[in-house]
Amino acid sequence: MRVAIIASPYPLEEAPAPPLGISYAAAAFEKAGAEVRIFDYIVSRYTPEKLAKQIDDFRPQVVGTSSVTMNFPIAARILQTVKEIDPRIVTVIGGPHASFDAVNTLKMYPGIDLVVIGEGEATIAELVATRFKKESLLTIRGIATRNGHDILFTPPRPLIDDLSTLPQPARHLLPLSRYQALGFPISIITGRGCPYQCIFCQGRRMVGSKMRHRPAHMVVDEIEDILSYGIDRINIADDLFVSNKRKVREVCQEIERRELKFTWSAFARVNTVDKETLATMKSAGCDAISFGVESGNQEMLDRIKKKITLDQVRRAVEMCQEVGLIVHCSFIVGLPGESPETLEETKRFAESLGKIDYGFHLLAPFPGTTVREEVDKYDLEILTDDWSLYDANHAIVRTSRLSAEEIRRFVDDFEGEIAEAWEQKVSAYFAGSLKDPWDCLRVEGHFRTRLIFNLLSGDVIERIGFFPGIRNWEDTLPSLRERIHLETGDPHMIIEKTVHDIITRGYIKPFWQGDGIRWKWTHNNRRDE
């Protein structure tokens, strides 16, 4: 069985990294015996014509995708297009949005055949075993599908108790060199499950309330595999890794036993960290911690069932700083009952934490969250179901005390202060008067990442990268840089440094094609290949 998995487009503002959920799904399909390809439109351009060619080349029997709410519309439309290209292909969607909005997904998108609900690996194994035959679908737990005009749900699938049975994510199927060029850290998880009940989060319902841990040696096996690609920065994406002190100690000891050298960051809850554990993490290469604080008003924290106190936030930040970890705190604006006073309290509290990084995000009431399903219980009104706006950057709610415009203005004012200082640094950089080396690196990094994302999402290298009649690749470089400038409008200085960097690192390479040189993105830079 041939299975194509779609990595749907994702905006640069959301720091697109190699998609972890899709990598797990691809691994599950491979373990079940399928031949799998990933059509990655996060780091390449999507067009229906390109999709049609890829389908014609591979001829999959099944095409699947996963998405969050923000990119659900484009993911669903791509599956619709797949069905138009070849109606015989079985189309499948999973992920948190479709899991909690399966009825609307199947009603609104007739080109989607079935929804895999919740944790999907065991469901995938059974679907492959039955070769997705329609008469077998209703015998498989954890799916929603159609029977004529009716939408049917099979019984829920139990969560996977032993995570050591899962294969490692199939990152070898991803164009990792493209992601490396963008420069965002690669994410891993060390376990699944969350016992907390935050009303704005889907996590507990998606992965269950019971914590399930991957063995430490498997976590570090995965880290070692990632490092073999030349990647040297990793983010541990599960919120509760730091909560299990024994698990942290085992993972960190294994990292040090294998003498692995890399930097990493982690998410954590302020009520579960301690100084000894943080010091252990620091010793094993961790340099940054991110906390979801959400509000500087204790009543608000209690209302959203965050189960933390402001004093715990202060102490967690202090402990991180004492052991030398960078701290980032995130806050949500527009929570139920939000008012001018609570916003001001949150702003003052964030400022009181001292020299840390912090940011404000706008509430997005995703399907499957308590705040959405029980919105009538709260001082909150949801203003739109345009899922593309559910990116935490759009004001899509209001309270009795604050309009959407006022909520948005609060964040705009905060970001405006940052933007003004940033523009001064950018101007100084291009004028040659920016002296701080760190500021110079930040400016260059910003423009470099934006340039590379434009090259990737526009298939620019693919379109402009052929030079007929030239045999020495170095002779193509001036023209390559000028063509990139004409395509993107980026400054020549940034283009020259970026092109030099991605060539030096092996992310793009010249190939002899016919009577000329063709520049191409490489698939990966794995050291043992």
What CA–CA distance (Å, rounded) separates 453 from 42? 9
Summarised one tens digit per residue, pLDDT across range 289-303 is: 999 999 999 999 999
Cβ(330)–Cβ(290) under 8 Å? yes
DSSP string, 416-479: HHHHHHHHHHHHHHHHT----HHHHHHHHHHHHHHHHHHHHHTTHHHHH-EEET---GGGGHHH
Domains along the chain with CATH numbers = 2-153 (3.40.50.280), 185-425 (3.20.20.70), 437-521 (1.10.10)
Angle of CA points 128, 133, 138, to nearest 5°:
95
pLDDT score at 472: 95
Q: Which two tokens stand for residue 468?
A: 């007929």
pLDDT score at 12: 83
Cβ(281)–Cβ(266) under 8 Å? yes
- pLDDT at position 529 over 70: no
Q: At what angle do helices 477-488 and 437-457 cross, to 10 degrees?
A: 80
What CA–CA distance (Å, rounded) separates 38 from 226? 18
Cβ(155)–Cβ(123) under 8 Å? no
pTM of the prediction?
A: 0.95
**Closest CA relative to residue 252, chosen from 286, 288, 287:** 286
What CA–CA distance (Å, rounded) separates 298 from 38? 45
What CA–CA distance (Å, rounded) separates 370 from 367? 9
DSSP string, 418-431: HHHHHHHHHHHHHH
Report how far apart, in Å, the C-alpha atoms of 522 and of each of 45, 227, 459 are.
16, 17, 13
Q: At what angle do helices 404-431 and 437-457 cross, to 10 degrees?
A: 110
Q: Which amino acid is at 272?
A: T
Cβ(246)–Cβ(240) under 8 Å? no
Cβ(112)–Cβ(79) under 8 Å? yes
What CA–CA distance (Å, rounded) separates 173 from 5? 10
Summarised one tens digit per residue, pLDDT across range 402-425 is: 999 999 999 999 999 889 999 999
Q: Which residue has the tokens 């102490």?
A: 315
Summarised one tens digit per residue, pLDDT across range 440-465 is: 999 999 999 999 999 999 999 999 99
Query: How large is the greatest C-alpha to C-alpha distance in the chain, in angstroms?
Result: 71
What CA–CA distance (Å, rounded) separates 338 from 184? 33
Higher pLDDT, 435 or 525: 435
- Over residues 242-269, the mean pLDDT reads 96
Q: How many helices (H) and strands (E) does the chain have?
A: 21, 20
Higher pLDDT, 356 or 14: 356
For residue 338, give the 3-state DSSP assignment.
Answer: coil
- Taken as a whole, the chain contains a residue count of 529
Cβ(45)–Cβ(459) under 8 Å? yes
Residue 313 phi/psi, 5-degree rounding, is -60, -50
Q: Classify residue 185 by its DSSP letter.
A: P
Q: At what angle do helices 245-257 and 216-227 cross, to 10 degrees?
A: 40
- pLDDT at position 194 over 70: yes
Q: At what angle do helices 437-457 and 492-504 cross, to 10 degrees?
A: 80
Of 107-111, 394-398, 523-527, the range with the lowest mean pLDDT is: 523-527
Q: Which H or E run includes 94?
A: strand 90-94
pLDDT score at 13: 83
pLDDT confidence tier of residue 524, bands split at 50, 70 and 90: confident
For residue 402, give the 3-state DSSP assignment.
Answer: coil
What is the CB neighbour count within 10 angstroms for residue 257?
A: 9
- Beta carbons within 8 Å of 368's beta carbon, 6+ residues apart: 96, 99, 100, 101, 202, 205, 206
Q: What is the chain's mean pLDDT, rounded?
A: 95
pLDDT score at 239: 82
pLDDT score at 527: 55
pLDDT score at 115: 98
Report how far apart, in Å, the C-alpha atoms of 17 and of each of 81, 86, 275 are.
25, 30, 30
**Closest CA relative to residue 481, chosen from 508, 505, 457, 444:** 508
What CA–CA distance (Å, rounded) separates 127 from 145? 13
Summarised one tens digit per residue, pLDDT across range 13-72 is: 888 899 999 999 999 999 999 999 999 999 999 999 999 999 999 999 999 999 999 999
What CA–CA distance (Å, rounded) separates 490 from 5? 33
**Closest CA relative to residue 296, chosen from 360, 239, 357, 356:** 360
- pLDDT at position 365 over 60: yes
What CA–CA distance (Å, rounded) separates 495 from 486? 11
Q: Classify residue 24 by its DSSP letter.
A: H
pLDDT score at 90: 98
